[in-house]
Amino acid sequence: QTFVVSWRNPTKAQREWGLSTYIEALKEAIDVITSITGSKDINMLGACSGGLTTASLLGHYAALNDPKVHALTLLVSVLDTHLDTQVALFADEFTLEAAKRRSYQAGVLEGSDLAKVFAWMRPNDLIWNYWVNNYLLGNEPPVFDILYWNNDTTRLPAALHGEFIDMFQTNPLTRANALEVCGTPIDLKQVTCDFFCVAGTTDHITPWTSCYKSALLFGGKCEFVLSNSGHIQSILNPPGNPKSRYMTNSEMPKDPKDWQDGATKHTDSWWLHWQAWLAERSGKLNKAPTSLGNKKHPAAEAAPGTYVHER
């Protein structure tokens, strides 16, 4: 069975929600999942900033010696925030403190503001291209499904935004016990489950070399996969795409360039490789349930729920 947790689009009323708030919510969701399925543990996936919350959760579980997560998948997630990229242009202390003050005053960080930061990291593709085509030439922008999805931004509560900035500045996940979540110190080397890590070769938001260095922080065995696309397209990569390529290497040297030099190239989508990896780390197949939820946790509204009606 597959369960999905979606981050709520917060308002000023949720301004004090921080990292521990999100971790506690994940813990509650996992308890519900294990109750419904009867399974003692789960296989978990986190993408982008969701990778940061899932990694912190696993560090919290490790501190409690609670093996609730059997295997982990991380997609385009940076945990080691030492970045030698365009992100550094926005990362001086004055700018970061100003960003924290602004979100605390507003209660939330608007998704559109965050999108502008990422756009200016690739101005030729994400800004001037549209300036010339749409404004100067008067052409209709090309139809592109991923851009449509990308325009559906979400806010961050001020407290979580402030914690993310602090983590960017101090890089605590690279050091044992430098971060505390839900009352426990986090040491990712104590997270010893197998994990699958995906990065994109042309990802400007979470560069693949930073994703690779982040994968080295865990104590478990990693299957690192490098997809031939950017931040979104490296994930949305269904089988059968003739342009799809990915690289694998069972060795995990310290230098990501050494990993790339020794990697094997594959055609088609990495999804098929992940499917085989995940099947090896899953329990025996059971018959599909005839109804959702259970007596303690009955199903509520049909997917995707009522939250999508909130602006």
Q: What is the mean pLDDT of the chain?
A: 88
Q: Which is it for strands 108-109 and 264-267: parallel, antiparallel or unpaired?
A: unpaired
The candidate with the shortest Cα–Cα distance to 100, out of 89, 113, 112, 87, is 113
Single-letter residue type at 238: P
List the 42-47 sheet strands across, edge first.
42-47, 69-75, 194-200, 222-227, 245-248, 264-267
Q: Which amino acid is residue 71, in one-letter code?
A: A
Q: Could you tell me if 218 and 189 are in contact, meaning their C-beta atoms sit under 8 angstroms apart?
A: yes
- Both tokens of residue 156? 């961050």
Ramachandran region of residue 106, left (φ > 0), alpha (ψ -120 to 50) or beta? alpha
> What is the chain's pLDDT, residue by residue, as a tens digit (311 residues)?
999 998 888 999 999 999 999 999 999 999 999 999 999 999 999 999 899 999 999 999 999 999 999 999 999 999 998 765 555 555 667 777 878 888 888 899 887 776 666 555 556 655 667 777 787 888 887 766 666 666 777 889 999 999 988 898 899 999 999 999 999 999 999 999 999 999 999 988 889 999 999 999 999 999 999 999 988 889 988 999 888 999 999 999 999 999 999 999 999 999 999 999 999 999 888 899 999 999 999 998 887 788 777 76
Give residue 299's pLDDT: 92
* Residue burial 163-188, b: 16+ Cβ < 10 Å; e: rest: bbbebbeebbbbeeeebbbbebebbb
Give the span between the Cα atoms of 225 and 212, in whole angstroms.
9
**Which residue of the set 48, 193, 211, 222 is catalytic?**
48
Question: Is residue 280 assigned to a domain?
Answer: yes
Q: What is the pTM of this model?
A: 0.88
The reply to whether 138 falls in a domain is no
Does residue 213 form part of some domain? Answer: yes
Give the CATH number of the domain where residue 192 resides: 3.40.50
* Residue 99 within a domain: no
Would you say 200 and 227 are in contact if contact means Cβ atoms under 8 Å apart?
yes
pLDDT tens per residue across span 258-276: 999 999 999 999 999 999 9
**Within-domain flag for 30:** yes
**pLDDT for the residue numbered 89:** 53
Q: Which range marks the domain in which residue 272 is found?
A: 12-85+182-309
Pick from 229, 210, 238, 198: nearest CA to 76: 198
pLDDT of residue 18: 96
Is 193 an active-site residue? no
Q: Looking at the chain, how many residues does it have?
A: 311
Beta bridge partners of 248: 225, 264
pLDDT at 160: 93
CB atoms inside a 10 Å sphere around CB 231 = 21
In a domain, 92, yes or no: no
Residue 161: inside a domain: no
What is the spatial distance between Cα 161 and Cα 98, in angstroms, rounded to a whole number? 12
Q: How many domains does the chain have?
A: 1
- The dihedral over CA atoms of 278, 282, 284, 287, expressed in degrees to the nearest 10, equals -70
Question: Is residue 272 in some structural domain?
Answer: yes
